[in-house]
Amino acid sequence: MTTPSIDAHVRLDVHPTHSSAVTAVLTGSQAHIACVALEADNWSVVGKNTLVLARIDHEEPYWAEWAAEQLVAEGITVEITPKLREAMDEEWIWANYPMPWCTRSEIRQVSAEAQKIHDDIRHGHLLIHAHAEDSHTTVAVGTYLSSGKSVYLHGENHLRQIADTFQSPAAALVAFEMAHGDAMRPGPAPLTDTEQDTARALSSPGVAPREAEPSQPEPEAVPVYAADADDHGALLDTFLEAHRDWQKWRTWSDETTHAIHENQTLRIEHVHETAAHETAWTVAAYETPVSDRTWVLTATGATPAPVMQDLLIHLADTDGWNTVVSTPVDEKMVAVATQPLTDAGWKYALREHGIRWTSPDGGAGVQFDPLTAQQPQNLATWTVWGGTDPDRPAWTLTASPYTPSTLLANLSENLAHGIGTNRNPPTNRERGTSIATTRPGIPTGLTGPAAGWTR
């Protein structure tokens, strides 16, 4: 039997301001039918023909996909945006999950039960009488108003469970007071950060406010070390889309993306929404999938996009890097790594803590510290920075002693001759030179299982 078509269109998208939440915008003469169906699945109306799904377990993309299948089965047209589809297809696990024996579907079932408890409390179906702190988590006692059954709750957010039941509120309160004594407090516990974020998502319209965009100045060609940082996340996504021999996953909080090469000895970590001077990128290499780290490279959030793109291109060339432990850096390796800088006229000087090369315009520098070159655990034998003051750099990139000289030479080549764009560049007088005196850029690129990285 053919399912009758309903004049309703549902557009599902990621929430513009709340991580993992999903929005639904309804159109059509029978949009109310889709609205009733979504409300029955715990979506919340936040505006005219607009609903939001926000959960404490961050499983919104999964349940949004499930809802889409149900709507389509009812004859309702559903559109899923590419960004939401990507979130639906992305696999992730809870880091340090306290029940590691559970399968992914079992974890989702535990979370769904915790979500139901949360919703029952939020909608007033479950009245909480008292709560207490117990071994770094929260416990509580309450009663379901419809059935009169009282319950003992243990845990927070996606781990909250019904640990015991009682026939009456009096019996539940007596048992709770005997177990927790002076720690017992009346009423429900304060909302957790996750619950507060979920509540904000459920009270927001689900559409990012549209602001008038100020006119942007025309971007100007500048040396690569003075270029804009742009969107590092998009940069990594483009790289991974083009190189299927790398596997990607993101943490449940959506704050970090991890990528690992298929040989399991080179890994990339990118922390999103990082401050300009904080570490946003970590590349780590290992001789074998289970060995200690052999070399590591880091970069801050303001590192120019062309520098990071060049490094990623180098990572894509498996002949351009290796993870096998080699001899410590020596004079010959330093000369190879910095030859492009010398050829381009970078100023060379001996410093108290090593050798420094400075760009002709004073806008970037590279420093090698020989005192740390024999210490594999050191993370900053090589330091690269942008800006006129090395003590207050605009961005910083560091590399450990065993970082391949080919990678460093490739980086030097890009720094010496690469060109990028900047929407707010310094004047030529501030730079001390004109970009017209710089040779055209040469396409180049970069290159690091770190203990504790979680897939």
List the chain domain ranges: 9-89, 104-188, 221-437
Q: Is the pLDDT of residue 343 over 60?
A: yes
Q: Is the pLDDT of residue 172 over 60?
A: yes
Q: Is the pLDDT of residue 90 over 90?
A: no
C-alpha–C-alpha distance, residues 19 and 16, integer Å = 8
Average pLDDT, integer, range 130-156: 92
Using CA atoms, how far residue 254 sits from 19, 25, 137, 148, in Å, is 7, 23, 24, 40
Average pLDDT, integer, range 36-56: 91
**CATH number, domain 9-89:** 3.30.780
Task: Decide if 96 contacts 452 (C-beta within 8 A).
Answer: no
* 385 bridge partner residues: 365, 396
C-alpha–C-alpha distance, residues 125 and 340, integer Å = 70
C-alpha–C-alpha distance, residues 76 and 74, integer Å = 6
Predicted confidence band of residue 2 (pLDDT cuts 50, 70, 90): low
- pLDDT in the model for residue 280: 94
Q: How far apart are the first and last CA of the chain?
A: 44
Q: What is the pTM of this model?
A: 0.50
C-alpha–C-alpha distance, residues 27 and 10, integer Å = 7
Task: Decide if 283 contacts 379 (C-beta within 8 A).
Answer: no
- Write the burial class of residue 397 (CB in 10 Å: 0-12 exposed, 13-18 middle, 19+ buried): buried
Predicted confidence band of residue 361 (pLDDT cuts 50, 70, 90): very high
Q: What is the pLDDT of residues 297-317, one digit of tens each?
A: 999 999 999 999 999 988 887
Least confident among 90-94, 164-168, 449-453: 449-453
- pLDDT in the model for residue 371: 81
Predicted confidence band of residue 20 (pLDDT cuts 50, 70, 90): confident
Task: Decide if 313 contacts 444 (C-beta within 8 A).
Answer: yes
Predicted confidence band of residue 13 (pLDDT cuts 50, 70, 90): very high
- pLDDT in the model for residue 327: 62
- pLDDT in the model for residue 96: 65
Q: What is the pLDDT of residues 424-437, one digit of tens each?
A: 755 443 333 333 33
- pLDDT in the model for residue 377: 64
Q: Report the percentage of the chain scoring pLDDT > 70.
A: 84
Summary mean pLDDT of the chain = 83
Q: Name the more confident of 349 and 217.
A: 349
Predicted confidence band of residue 143 (pLDDT cuts 50, 70, 90): very high
- pLDDT in the model for residue 243: 87
- pLDDT in the model for residue 214: 55
- Write the burial class of residue 394 (CB in 10 Å: 0-12 exposed, 13-18 middle, 19+ buried): buried
Q: What is the pLDDT of residues 368-409, one digit of tens each?
A: 988 877 766 667 899 999 998 988 999 999 998 888 888 999
15 CA to centre of own chain? 16
